Amino acid sequence: MANHEYPQLLKNYLLFCECKRKHQDTGKLSLDTQFIFPTTLLPLLIHMRKAHATLHTPNSNLAGYINYMIENTDKPVLGKPYLPLVRLPHDIKLVDNTLQPLYHLLDN
């Protein structure tokens, strides 16, 4: 994927990278945004699960959406999500071939 072809995708993924770096440096995972794109959301959810981290955000809709994705709960999601709610499996062995590269990418 070339930078010049997909600049928004790269920008959104770099937002995840910045959040992860700050989390490693400070011990606090925080995100101050009104909307989160899939290229930020998916790696962020995987990082949160692996690091057993809680996301701190002033956006209650975003916090509710992410908590729903992370926790095994039947609580309703705050706000209206733009993406379908699909839980990621806890065990990498249960991941299909589509998501497997994402898990391996984040293992590095």
Domain ranges of the chain: 7-107
| pLDDT over 70 (residue 36) | yes
What's the pLDDT band for 101 if we cut at 50, 70, 90? confident
Please tell me which residue, 50 or 3, carries the higher pLDDT value: 50
Report the DSSP beta bridge partners of residue 29: 55
Q: What percent of the chain is modeled with pLDDT above 70?
A: 70
Evaluate if residue 23 carries a pLDDT over 90: yes
Q: What is the spatial distance between Cα 80 and Cα 87, in angstroms, rounded to a whole number? A: 17
CA distance 57 to 67: 11
